[in-house]
Chains A and B, each alone.
Chain A
Amino acid sequence: MLSNLGNILLFLNVILSLSIIYNANRNLKVSGGIEKNIFQLSLIQSTSIIICFFVLVAAFIVSDFSLITVYQNSHSLKPLFYKIAGTWGNHEGSLLLWAIILSIFSFLFLIYNKDHPKKFRLLTLIIQNILILGFLFFILFNSNPFSKISPIPSEGLGLNPILQDPALAIHPPLLYVGFVGASIYFSAAIASLITNYSEKSFSLSIKNWVLISWCFQTLGILVGSIWAYYELGWGGFWFWDPVENASLLPWFAMTALFHSLIVFEKRNLFYFWVIILCLITFILSVTGTFLVRSGILNSVHTFASDPTRGIYILIFLSLMIFGSILLLFQKYKKENYDLNRNSKETFILVNNWFMMFYLITVLLGTIYPIFTDALTDNKISVGPPFYNAIIFPVVVIFLLFMALGPKAKWIKNKFENIKIYFFILAGAIGLNLSIIFFFKSYSLLSNFIIISALFLIISSLMDIAKALKRNKLDFARIISHTSFGFLVLFIGLNDIFSLEKDYNIKLGETKKFENYSIQLQNLDLKNYKNYQAVIGKLEIKNINSNQTNILNPEIRIYNKPKTLTYEAAIKTSLIKDYYLTMSNIDRSDYYNIKFQKKPLMAWIWISVIMIVFGVSIRLFNNAKNN
């Protein structure tokens, strides 16, 4: 029953999309405002796709194993929360989520942009609906979450237990709002090219959407990192995994985009550059989806692969790329950038160069293995050393520009009070030296990174004092730039001062190292609803301060499917995290434990949240001013 209802709703959505395209197209040719029925159709479209999604959620909740998707990804013993999260934890369900976001953004863009030309709004709607149709066809004919299985299995196959985690339940939806949200300014950019709507006001129509998708994208990446840190048991939070990279690529493009939008809005410069960024952001999002879903990349994220899926997305991607390139070539006019060397415009352009540099680096690192495999049959993998070697040295220069940029003036070639930056630089060097003096020394590159991060932080903080005097405070920029400085600083310090030890230990035994001792005090066996757990009780003692902490890492044995996972025990404090994993050693009463001390972890997360907070202040200010 649920299967039929879901399929009917999907077909209804196809019809709705087609009729929106038809009505919008007809409305283009007549004078007057946008017809009421287009708004109505768009509203019905969003509502019905949401209902369709809830039908699938219902199938997961009642464990309707007549649906293949439910059978493959759920189990009747699974806690309710993870049954629901299972809806988007798989390929088919997540595509339905894509369709929802496409439709909702389409509707909201239509109703919130009343001040813009009718033709531009209608064309945006048409293009967005062509995208929606593309996804609906993909869902219906290739990845239908409502496909039936017969005979009906009595029990489901279960959901991968490492995916049973609250952070992971919200990670995909956040990321999808970012990824798919980019579709609306893709559509708007195409509409703007076709209708020659290249005035400054075009930036007003898209800038909030860019900020919204950026915030969600950033939070999605953050939650994914937090999950990897807590769940994967490696103690790291970024692995340069191809799929992580796929989420980072559109992020770079979005970041470049909302910075150049500032210039476009103020000076009416960079129109075509803004358009190109709008286009590549969504193209990169779809490319990322292609890489993940087609199975040509091997990664922890790769969904069960099916080549026909890959072909479909590749055709969709090619149409998008060549369609937008040809249109762009047709409309492109050479723009004259007559910029003063020290003006704000120049600095924002510099920001964009850096973003493009990062984007190209990560893109090459991600797809290079595919190229060598296809062309030379050589399987290689590009790992962290490549990214660390290329990205981190450049971060130093990037941070210096990031500190100086905001002080430049629009148009003018004038810098105020250049001397003060030498003092700030001296202060940053001094602080860095005192860190070395009180703790330990570290590599030359780390020195540079920490100095430049401190330089950005101090100069941003000094802006507050200056701006308060003039009563013109750009909170959004100061908070996000300062927090970015802190983020780099904390990552740097965390990397330098982390400590890692590995031991085999027996019950009751104590191991000592540096000024710590670890004792395995107890082992406990507990039964839970869908797993059994061996819980260790380990005491970590700081010999100098006599402070003790008890940590309880777990070895979990899940029933469905039978899987063993190792749960890290983490003691978080503002200064440092203790991170402990435990695994059993076959045929012995020893346990292998891995202990890590990771300073300032909490501050890394907080910095990212503060960056997003800064950007959302900008978003609220924009909304208020409009």
Chain B
Amino acid sequence: MQKIIKIIILFIFLFVIGIFYISLTRDTNYNTSSLINKETPEFKIISFDDSNYFTRDDIKKNDYTLINFWASWCAPCRVEHPILMKLSQTKNLVILGINFKDKEPQAKTFLSELGNPYDLLAKDKNGKHSVKFGIYGIPESILINKELMIIQKFVGPLTVDDYNNIIKIVK
């Protein structure tokens, strides 16, 4: 009897540790790679100046679109900003910025201080639209082609490597 109890106790702990390990390695919280090679979800998101809406049709027009989720309160967004500025000079690539859960005046100050890399600018005041793109935190960016296919997803600030990568794809 005692032996069975011991085995059960060991098994419970093994089970718990196993689950912890699975959650760690799966890491679905921060990795939405399952979205890659899938079609962009339908969306209708209001432009930053409230003048019109953006939908998938706006993406179909371009060879490649990079959707970048950012906010003025997000420190890593400042870190990646120079890379976005550089990317904005690339042909064949349209950058759609989605201002995430932000206050308008601060978002404007942010862009006037650091420059505006966005060809299109939209806002997602309460973060509801970003959920469709599997956004957990910001900054995150998604590269989409003309066929509305998600080619790559970047979690966290864009790095120089990411820049080179994007340039290679877009060429």
Listed in ascending order, the chain A residues whose CB lies under 8 Å from chain B are 157-158, 290, 294-296, 298, 305, 307, 310-311, 314, 317-318, 321-322, 325, 329, 334, 367, 370-371, 373-375, 377, 557, 561-564, 586-587
Instruction: Flag if B23 contacts A374 (CB, 8 Å).
Output: yes
A562 and B106 form a contact (CB under 8 A): yes
With a CB–CB cut-off of 8 A, which chain B residues contact A296? 20, 23-24, 29
Q: Per-residue CB proximity of B68-84 to A under 8 Å, as 1/0? A: 00001111001100000
Q: Whole-angstrom distance from the CB of B2 to the nearest CB of chain A?
A: 8
A334 to B106, CA, bound (A): 67
Q: Contact at A317–B23, with CB atoms within 8 Å?
A: no
A157 near B75 with CB under 8 A, answer yes
Contact flag A298-B29 (CB < 8 Å), given A310-B24, A564-B103, A564-B106: yes
On whether the beta carbons of A290 and B27 are closer than 8 Å, the reply is no
| Listed stretches B8-16, B40-48, B146-154, B161-169; interface member | B8-16
Q: Roughly how many angstroms separate A311 CA and B19 CA in the complex, as a whole number?
A: 12
Chain B stretch 90-107: residues in CB contact (< 8 A) with chain A = 103-104, 106
Instruction: Report the separation of the CA atoms of residues A377 and B110 in the bound assembly, to the nearest whole angstrom.
Output: 38
Question: Out of B2, B13, B104, which one reaches A325, CB within 8 Å?
Answer: B13
Taking CB atoms, residues of chain B closer than 8 Å to A561 are 73-75, 78
In the complex, the chain B residue whose C-beta lies closest to that of A561 is: B75
Instruction: Kindly state the separation between the CA atoms of A611 and B86 in the bound complex, as whole angstroms.
Output: 60
Cβ distance B19 to chain A, nearest Cβ, rounded Å? 5
Pick 22 A–B contacts, CB within 8 A, sort by A.
A294-B20, A294-B24, A295-B27, A296-B29, A298-B29, A314-B17, A322-B13, A325-B9, A329-B6, A370-B20, A370-B23, A373-B23, A373-B28, A374-B19, A374-B22, A374-B26, A561-B74, A561-B75, A562-B73, A564-B106, A586-B103, A586-B104
Do A295 and B6 touch (CB < 8 A)?
no
Check A307 against B13 for contact (C-beta < 8 Å). Answer: no
| Interface residues of B, count at CB 8 A | 30
Q: Is the CB of B20 within 8 A of A290?
A: yes
Which residues in A have their C-beta under 8 angstroms from that of B16? Answer: 367
Chain B: residues with CB nearer than 8 A to chain A? 2, 6, 9-10, 13, 16-17, 19-30, 72-75, 78-79, 103-104, 106, 109-110
Given contacts A325-B13, A562-B106, contact A305 B73 (CB under 8 A): no
Closest to B24 in A: A310
Contacts of B23 in A (CB 8 A): 296, 370, 373-374
Given contacts A307-B24, A325-B10, A374-B22, contact A317 B73 (CB under 8 A): no
CA distance A12 to B30 in the complex (A): 37
Nearest CB in chain B to that of A560: its residue: B75
CB neighbours of B21 from chain A (8 A) = 314
Name A587's closest neighbour in chain B (CB-CB): B104
Query: What is the bound-complex CA distance between A30 and B123, given in angstroms?
Result: 74
Question: Are the CB atoms of B24 and A311 closer together than 8 Å?
Answer: yes
Residues of chain A contacted by B74 (CB below 8 angstroms): 561
- Pair B29/A314 contact, Cβ less than 8 Å: no
Q: Tell me if B20 and A564 are in contact (CB < 8 A).
A: no
A157 CB contacts on chain B under 8 angstroms: 75, 79
Contact, CB under 8 Å: B30 / A305:
yes
CA distance A175 to B29 in the complex (A): 27
Residues on A with C-beta less than 8 A from B24 are 294, 296, 307, 310-311, 314
- Give A15 to B147 CA distance when docked, in angstroms: 60
The answer to whether residues A564 and B73 also contact, given A310-B24, A311-B24, A321-B17 and a CB cut-off of 8 A, is yes
Report yes or no: A307 in contact with B75, Cβ–Cβ below 8 A: no
Q: Which residues of B contact A325 (CB under 8 A)?
A: 9-10, 13
Answer whether A321 and B75 are a contact pair too, CB < 8 Å, given A314-B24, A374-B19: no
A90 and B24 alpha carbons, distance in the complex (Å)? 21
Which among B20, B22, B28, B72 has the greatest number of chain A C-beta atoms within 10 A? B20
Whether the Cβ atoms of A370 and B19 lie closer than 8 Å is yes
Which residue from chain A places its CB closest to the CB of B156 in the assembled complex? A304
Apart from A290-B20, A561-B73, A562-B72: 19 A-B pairs, beta carbons within 8 A: A158-B75, A295-B27, A305-B30, A314-B17, A314-B24, A317-B17, A334-B2, A370-B20, A374-B26, A557-B106, A561-B78, A562-B73, A562-B109, A563-B73, A564-B73, A564-B103, A564-B106, A586-B104, A587-B104
Chain A residue at smallest Cβ distance from B16: A367
Please give, as numbers and ranges, the residues of chain A lying within 8 Å of B104 by CB-CB distance.
586-587
Closest 3 pairs (CB-CB, A-B): A561-B75, A296-B23, A374-B22
